[in-house]
Amino acid sequence: EPEVTQTPSHQVTQMGQEVILRCVPISNHLYFYWYRQILGQKVEFLVSFYNNEISEKSEIFDDQFSVERPDGSNFTLKIRSTKLEDSAMYFCASSPDTSQETQYFGPGTRLLVL
């Protein structure tokens, strides 16, 4: 069964450094998303992306964040200058164009900012 993959599984970085989290969505899906989950808290929406554009973003997704689909398979989340409070699990998700109700989540990248 096709699945969303994410790399790396864990990332440790120093405060102020840039990080890029990578995702490979399911191949025929057209809608892509990033979510984050701070330890012990709920899953929070960051951004949705369709047709090479951001469809919607939350108040968390400020100027420090950006997303990109650099080629036909990858979907990336960049954090320009990481802060301690960016430490969280980051989940990528994708959905097909005809069944937008269902999102398929990847296993996540655990980001630790020191």
Partner 1 sequence: SQKIEQNSEALNIQEGKTATLTCNYTNYSPAYLQWYRQDPGRGPVFLLLIRENEKEKRKERLKVTFDTTLKQSLFHITASQPADSATYLCADLGGYQKVTFGTGTKLQVIP
Nearer to partner 1, 14 or 27 (CB): 27
Q: Which of 83, 77, 61 is nearest to 25 (CA)?
A: 77
Nearer to partner 1, 71 or 101 (CB): 101
Quote the CA–CA distance of 94 and 110 in Å, as a whole number: 19
Nearer to partner 1, 74 or 81 (CB): 74
Least distance (Å) between residue 29 CB and partner 1: 11
Least distance (Å) between residue 108 CB and partner 1: 5
Provide the binding-site residues for partner 1, judged by CB under 8 A.
4, 31, 33, 35, 41-45, 48, 50, 55-56, 58, 89, 91, 93, 95, 100-108, 110
Output helix, strand, coil percentages for the chain, rounded to the nearest 5.
5, 50, 45
DSSP 36-64: EE-TTS-EEEEEEEETTEEEEE-TT--TT
Residues across the chain: 114
Nearer to partner 1, 44 or 66 (CB): 44
